[in-house]
Amino acid sequence: MRKLLLIGLCITQTLFAQKTILHCGQLFDVRQLKMLPEMSVVIEGNKITTVDKGYTAGGPVDKVIDLTHETVLPGLIDCHTHLEDQLAPNAQIKQFTQNPADIAFNATVYARTTLLAGFTTVRDLGGTGVNISLRNAINKGVIIGPRIFTAGRMISSTGGHGDHTSGLRDDIMHNPEFNSGIANGVDECRAAVRLRYKEGSDLIKIAATGGVLSMEKDGAGAQYTEEEIRVIVQTAKDYGMKVTSHCHGVEGMKRSIRAGVTSIEHGTYMDAETMELMKQYGTYLVPTIIAGKSVADSATNKPGFFPPVIARKAMEVGPIIQNTFAKAYKAGVKIAFGTDGGVYAHGKNWMEFVYMSEAGMPVLECIRAATLNAADLIGNDQIGVIEKDKLADIVAIDGDPVKDVHAMGKMKFVMKNGVVYKNE
């Protein structure tokens, strides 16, 4: 009997011992765009139970974490990453030298780096399919990383931005293994979406225009008809998935917006008419300024880093993105934070805040773009805010980002789903 009582007491204590209390020097209210001084966040399991004014006292079995000298934010969300890879000289050679296991081992490092930089959720927008296994391994607790919503393989037309056989010799160019993400015409586009669903993708990414880091000569031309994009969007909707569209040129953007994609990635040559169309349809822009700056820098200052065809496009496209973002923001286009992580070194995602603020977006709006707006784009209302009954994705930085945006790079505390991964 005594043993049963002791067991019952232990169980009772365990049930009431799961509170973690964060004492926050200042807490960012993303809805009101306000910093709230001296706040407490109470967490049980993986959920926030209360957000209190002042410093809530903990009980004898509660864990109190002192963040009274930090700025506390919702876990950051990067809506455009590629966790399978990180750009390096002659990157095209990797597809002939890396096995899936090589990609996977590298991806675990990039995922961990991204999480510890404060990004508790990401969209992974295209890889080999290893990104799906990476998501699953993180969800199972096998490895450490952010919450991932992945597109699996990108869908592209023949010769398009997602066709990695461009520039190769004929026998390799037509190898089915290298062309698994290629779809032409409405029937193939419909089938490609269904295949992504079968493989386990969370969303669909298409290449509606040319790109920079591919061996095609044109980085901006439209590569899918509006009819093809409509079929992709409708099929994805049937399977409960959203569609995002890689676009540099205007025509590809307009076709994508009218067809119903939820976001435009990059948007480099966006004009005023396209901005109005995005506002009309409620389409998000994910700008990826840091990626543009990174590739332009490598092409300009590191001879031989890219093949000539890519170097030319990098110098043409890279410097434009920040100015386009500035115009889109001022025009009232919806903005969600995204960096193209992997085009630059993983973990430096925070520098996008610097470039966005340089372009005229107030820092607190930049942070909202990486929290509330990003969660809205993804379609998950449990993340992106610090509120009662939401998931406990919470980070803290050293300093006040309003006074110095570089504080976003001084990540001191990271909690994802109620688990603390960093507390310096």
Distance in angstroms (rounded) separating the CA atoms of residues 297 and 309: 15
- Which pLDDT score, from 0 to 100, does residue 3 have? 45
How far is CA 28 from its chain centroid? 21
Strand 419-423 to 34-44 pairing: unpaired
What dihedral angle (degrees, nearest 10) is formed by the CA atoms of 380, 383, 389, 393?
150
- Which pLDDT score, from 0 to 100, does residue 77 have? 98
Report pLDDT digits (tens) over 43-55.
999 999 999 999 9
Cα-based angle 137, 143, 144 (whole degrees, multiple of 5): 115
Contact of 85 with 106, CB cutoff 8 Å: yes
- The pLDDT tens digits along the chain (424 residues) read 444 444 444 444 444 557 999 999 999 999 999 999 999 999 999 999 999 999 999 889 999 999 999 999 999 999 999 999 998 887 777 777 888 999 999 999 999 999 999 999 999 999 999 999 999 999 999 999 999 999 999 999 988 887 776 776 676 666 656 656 889 999 999 999 999 999 999 999 999 998 887 777 777 899 999 999 999 999 999 999 999 999 999 999 999 999 999 999 999 999 999 999 999 999 999 999 999 999 988 889 888 888 888 888 888 888 899 999 999 999 999 999 999 999 999 999 999 999 999 999 999 999 999 999 999 999 999 999 999 999 999 999 999 999 999 999 999 999 999 999 999 9
Find the DSSP H helices in 349-424: 351-358, 363-369, 372-378
Look-up of token digits 């000289």: 89
Q: What is the pTM of this model?
A: 0.93
φ/ψ of 148, rounded to 5, equals: -115, 130
Cβ atoms < 10 Å from Cβ of 146: 30
Give pairs for 311-316: CB < 8 Å, separation 24+: 313/211, 313/212, 313/219, 314/212, 314/213, 316/219
- Which pLDDT score, from 0 to 100, does residue 8 have? 45
Contact of 23 with 55, CB cutoff 8 Å: yes
Strand 284-286 to 34-44 pairing: unpaired
Distance in angstroms (rounded) separating the CA atoms of residues 72 and 35: 9
**Secondary element (H or E) of residue 48:** strand 47-53
- The encoded tokens of residue 415 equal 């909690």
- The encoded tokens of residue 191 equal 């089938």
Look-up of token digits 């990401």: 122
- Please, which residues bridge with residue 71 across strands? 26, 397
Angle separating helix axes 308-317 and 289-301, nearest 10 degrees: 130
Distance in angstroms (rounded) separating the CA atoms of residues 270 and 291: 17
Contact of 22 with 65, CB cutoff 8 Å: yes
Distance from first CA to last CA of the chain, Å, rounded? 45
Contact of 49 with 388, CB cutoff 8 Å: yes
